Amino acid sequence: MNMENAFSYNTSYVGEDSPVHRMDPRIKLGLVLGTTLLSVFLQNVAWLVTLVVMLLALSAISGTLKKMTKFLGLFFLFAVLTVAIMTLLTRNFIYSLEYFSPFFLRFGVMVTAGMLFAFTTSPNHLSQALQKMYFPAPLSFTLTVTLRYIPTLANEAETIFNALRLRGVYPSNWDVIRKPSYLYRGMIIPLFIRILKLSDEIAIAAESRAFNGGNGRSSLKNIKIGRNDLFFSLTMIMFCFVLMVMDKGTFSLI
């Protein structure tokens, strides 16, 4: 397995050009927060399903639905396993399904909204949006370092593991439990020494380029809330309001 590919942004951000991709990250963040909060208030399963379908429709528009299916599959497996265990405990499948469906739908809303945000927002845009939301600049720098070095560190770990194997060390799970020094001396210590070297290099490189903690940093492309963003926000607010009214009112389906 190629660790670098497994942890690259390709697993998360899908760089396409769609109306959802072009939307301001702050609006999308509002959508994630709003739908998550709304899912807690909604009691009726039908309206929770409507909310999930709306989010899936947005992911279809953004062209990220196919990629999202892989992760939603894992979530679905988790749901199936939970219902199966509950059925074994209670010996009543319908009861288990009814009992768990509101939870998994709420969870589904959160996961789908979160992935919609992650798959359609580049780390650069997220960093810019956080700065616009008064996220301290030095923390923004730390976040950028984290996002940049996730695939690199995964690659480093793989290299260290391969070096161990080249020396004829093939530790099985039992070996690691019996002799943790395989993992500790062979893997963790070299990785930490590499991390220390890398972080020193980053700091020296940043300071030699007159890095001042990131305060007052300008950007070639600035993000700003446009007319389309406002229109989308208003539509979403109205949609959520209608769902709330339907849930509390006499329009209940189930």
Binding site for other proteins (CB under 8 A): 7, 11-12, 29, 32-33, 36, 39-40, 71, 74, 77-78, 81-82, 84-86, 89-90, 99-100, 102-103, 106-107, 110-111, 113-115, 117-118, 123, 126, 130, 136, 138-139, 141-147, 149-150, 152-154, 157, 184, 188-189, 191-193, 195-196, 198-200, 202-203, 206-207, 211-213
Q: How far is the CB of 194 from other proteins (least distance, A)?
A: 9
Q: How far is the CB of 178 from other proteins (least distance, A)?
A: 16
CB closer to other proteins out of 136 and 231: 136
| Rounded-to-integer distance, Cα 120 and Cα 151, Å | 19
CA angle 185, 190, 196 (to 5 degrees): 135
Which pair of structure tokens corresponds to residue 252? 């209940």
DSSP 174-234: HHHHH-THHHIIIIIHHHHHHHHHHHHHHHHHHHHTT--TTTT---SS-----HHHHHHHH
Q: How far is the CB of 112 from other proteins (least distance, A)?
A: 9
Q: How far is the CB of 227 from other proteins (least distance, A)?
A: 25
For the chain, helix (H) and strand (E) counts, in that order, are 12, 0
Which pair of structure tokens corresponds to residue 233? 């926000």
Amino acid at 113: A
Compute how many other C-beta atoms are within 10 angstroms of the C-beta atom of residue 11. 16
CB closer to other proteins out of 33 and 253: 33
CB closer to other proteins out of 74 and 254: 74
Q: How far is the CB of 88 from other proteins (least distance, A)?
A: 11
